[in-house]
Amino acid sequence: MRIVGLTGGIGSGKTTVASLFSELGAPIYIADIEAKKLTDSSKVIRRELVDLLGESAYDGKKLNRRFVADKIFNDKKLLEAVNGIIHPKVAAHFKKWVSVQKAAYVIKEAAILFENGSYKDCDLVILVTAPKALRISRVMARDNSSEIEVERRMKNQWSDEEKRKLADIIIENIDLQDTEKQVKAIHQSLI
């Protein structure tokens, strides 16, 4: 079974592309969703995050995402420390998930696939790109965020130029019909 990494900057349309692959029958692992589930359910992650960030890191049983985001997106060392707690647990969870899949390939969708080095565990990597202005407008609409907040989050990810150097396939996600055609062609080549 092939492991296909799917990545792209915030607002590029990774989730849309992942959904298109899913419609074609590909098993999809959305790393951000699984990381959120694990941060809420894992006692080990909770203990380590509280040790690092304080009791305010959790609001009841759930991670206080706004508090954590405000802390880490302005402090690279803190961001790296939080990622160092969460990412190994997500990687282990992904390996277990892959072991029970029965398909020609699986998709691992992760925003920071290159940044955290997990692209090295993939047989090939698809990069989803879109113009910066379009990405910003998508995220502002989706998250009800300001342009400044979106740009701050973008600064914590590699640029598309850096990612292009490591990607095997690039999907320019501007027009949905064109994106669908690209996904179908990639799917056919993988099966």
Per-residue pLDDT, 105:
97
120 and 171 assigned to the same domain: yes
Per-residue pLDDT, 174:
93
* pLDDT surpassing 80 at residue 74: no
CATH number of 182's domain: 3.40.50.300
Stated pTM of the model: 0.85
Would 168 be classed as within a structural domain? Answer: yes
Would 153 be classed as within a structural domain? Answer: yes
Per-residue pLDDT, 163:
94
pLDDT digit string, tens, across residues 28-68:
999 989 999 999 999 999 999 999 999 999 998 899 998 99
Nearest C-alpha neighbor of 137 from the set 125, 127, 147, 149:
147
Mean pLDDT of 17-35: 95
Per-residue pLDDT, 12:
92
Total domains, the chain: 2
Would 36 be classed as within a structural domain? Answer: no
Per-residue pLDDT, 120:
93
Per-residue pLDDT, 34:
94
pLDDT digit string, tens, across residues 98-157:
999 999 999 999 988 898 888 999 999 999 999 999 999 999 999 888 888 888 888 878
Nearest C-alpha neighbor of 17 from the set 191, 164, 175, 144:
175
125 and 174 assigned to the same domain: yes
β-strands 2-7, 58-59 pairing: unpaired
110 and 96 assigned to the same domain: no
β-strands 62-63, 58-59 pairing: antiparallel
* pLDDT surpassing 90 at residue 92: yes
Phi-psi group of 167: left, alpha or beta (phi > 0 → left; psi -120 to 50 → alpha; rest → beta): beta
134 and 148 assigned to the same domain: yes
Per-residue pLDDT, 22:
97
Per-residue pLDDT, 46:
96
115 and 186 assigned to the same domain: yes
Per-residue pLDDT, 42:
94
110 and 169 assigned to the same domain: yes
21 and 67 assigned to the same domain: no
Q: Give the end of a domain, one of 74, 100, 126.
A: 100
19 and 109 assigned to the same domain: yes
Would 32 be classed as within a structural domain? Answer: no
Range of the domain at 49: 41-100
- Quote the tokens at residue 73: 């997106």
